[in-house]
Amino acid sequence: MSPWSCYLSMGLLCIVLLSLSIPFAIGDLQVAFYNSSCPQAESVVLSVVSKHFATDPSVTAAFLRMYFHDCFVRGCDASILIAPTKKKMTERSAGPNLTVRGFEIINEAKANLEAQCPSTVSCADIIALATRDAVALAGGPNYDIPTGRRDGLVSNPKDVRLPGPSLTVSQAFQFFSAKGFTLEEMVILLGGHTVGVAHCVFFRDRLGNFQGTGAPDPSMDPSLRAKLTRICGPRPKPLKKDPTAFLDQNTSFEVDNQYYSQLLVNKGLMQIDQELASDNSTASVVSGLASGEAGFLQKFADALVKLGNVEVLMGTAGNIRKKCTAFT
């Protein structure tokens, strides 16, 4: 499965990290790409996301996960949105994507945009914009995100290979480095666990049979383990009925740096989370992010912008779908 719970993946070329406030372009992507062709594009997406956030603040976690899962598989091309049929499975059919949600919000934004600017705004850009807006609504940075992506023409469940929650730091980094990310950027992107939940299946072994030892993971805080044991119950359940626990035990719906602070006191939910604080290659990064919220928010925004430029389709590549759920 994957990190935003459970998670992410990427791949990429050279990308420059840029200022949050100064308009810029990356290749053919640029901030305010739709200013001429559909001036209301970004405000339409914001309006739809704000409406849903007002009644369900967990949409921030949903979009962070969707964004990550889309960009880590064939790049940021909205291939995760294609609905499967009886005859054709898609990325949504793959195990790591079975609990990805928020599709109906993307569809709503797309329908509104098609009514105003037909065949103009890509579904890939809607995911990127919706994620940016949801992060800001949850108290995170309000950053500029370049747009101009095109939608992909392939969605194959066999392409879905994402870093799982039980990987070591070095194993997880193989996924991120293959997509052009540094070790520090991996730690920053995993900071997306500042919001959202994980099903018990992704951390149950840590509660009583860690790595087949018959004992709990000694790196987990005992009080957290007791709490999670009560939530999860004695036996595994089917995914749809499997209980969930917050990834951030403190400020569960806010985009802040508390995720890192909890790792320092052994309250990371999943194995990969906690190992970030104990592995010699990442421990100092975790400590630094835990001590400075402003620094984390800036770096998180930069990393999300870079994530949004993983293997994007531009120019005449791909197409602009009329409906996000089908190749149209």
Indicate the burial class of 146 (C-beta count within 10 angstroms; 0-12, 13-18, 19 or more).
buried
pLDDT digits (tens, 9 = 90+) for 246-274: 999 899 999 999 999 999 999 999 999 99
Instruction: Please indicate whether residue 199 is annotated as part of the active site.
Output: no
Spatial distance between the Cα atoms of 62 and 190, rounded to a whole number of angstroms: 14
**Per-residue 3-state assignment (H helix, E strand, C coil) for 121-189:** CCHHHHHHHHHHHHHHHCCCCCCCCCECCEECCCCCHHHCCCCCCCCCHHHHHHHHHHCCCCHHHHHHH
Q: Any known ligand binding at 248?
A: yes
Spatial distance between the Cα atoms of 220 and 132, rounded to a whole number of angstroms: 32
Predicted pLDDT at 33: 97
User: Do residues 186 and 176 make contact, with C-beta atoms less than 8 angstroms apart?
Assistant: yes
Q: Any known ligand binding at 256?
A: yes
Dihedral angle, C-alpha 20, 25, 26, 32, nearest 10 °: 80
Spatial distance between the Cα atoms of 198 and 7, rounded to a whole number of angstroms: 10
Using pLDDT thresholds of 50, 70 and 90, give the confidence band for residue 328.
confident
User: Do residues 105 and 67 make contact, with C-beta atoms less than 8 angstroms apart?
Assistant: no
Predicted pLDDT at 28: 77
Predicted pLDDT at 223: 97
Q: Any known ligand binding at 311?
A: no
Can you tell me the mean pLDDT for 59-66? 98
30: enclosing H helix or E strand: strand 29-30
Predicted pLDDT at 22: 34
Q: Please provide the DSSP assignment of 200-216 as one string.
A: GGGTTHHHH-GGGSSS-
Q: Any known ligand binding at 251?
A: yes
pLDDT digits (tens, 9 = 90+) for 178-197: 999 999 999 999 999 999 99
Percent of the chain exceeding pLDDT 70 equals: 92
Indicate the burial class of 189 (C-beta count within 10 angstroms; 0-12, 13-18, 19 or more).
buried
Residue 70, C-beta contacts closer than 8 angstroms, at least 6 positions apart: 76, 77, 78, 79, 80, 81, 124, 127
Spatial distance between the Cα atoms of 156 and 50, rounded to a whole number of angstroms: 31
Average pLDDT, the chain: 91
Predicted pLDDT at 109: 98
Structure tokens at 20: 């949050």
Spatial distance between the Cα atoms of 289 and 28, rounded to a whole number of angstroms: 32
Residue 64, C-beta contacts closer than 8 angstroms, at least 6 positions apart: 4, 131, 134, 135, 192, 195, 196
List 8, 10, 42, 69, catalytic entry: 69
Using pLDDT thresholds of 50, 70 and 90, give the confidence band for residue 159.
very high
Q: Any known ligand binding at 163?
A: yes
**CA-to-CA separations, 95 to 10, 28, 82, 172, in angstroms, rounded:** 18, 33, 15, 18
**Taking 80 as the threshold, does the pLDDT of residue 47 lie above it?**
yes
Q: Any known ligand binding at 79?
A: yes
Q: Any known ligand binding at 217?
A: no
pLDDT digits (tens, 9 = 90+) for 64-117: 999 999 999 999 999 999 999 999 999 999 999 999 999 999 999 999 999 999
**C-alpha Rg value of the chain to the nearest Å:** 19
Distance of CA 322 to the CA centre of its chain: 24
Predicted pLDDT at 24: 41
Indicate the burial class of 240 (C-beta count within 10 angstroms; 0-12, 13-18, 19 or more).
exposed
Spatial distance between the Cα atoms of 32 and 320, rounded to a whole number of angstroms: 17
pLDDT digits (tens, 9 = 90+) for 6-37: 433 333 222 222 233 333 444 479 999 999 99
User: Do residues 239 and 201 make contact, with C-beta atoms less than 8 angstroms apart?
Assistant: yes
Q: Any known ligand binding at 193?
A: yes
pLDDT digits (tens, 9 = 90+) for 273-322: 999 999 999 999 999 999 999 999 999 999 999 999 999 999 999 999 99
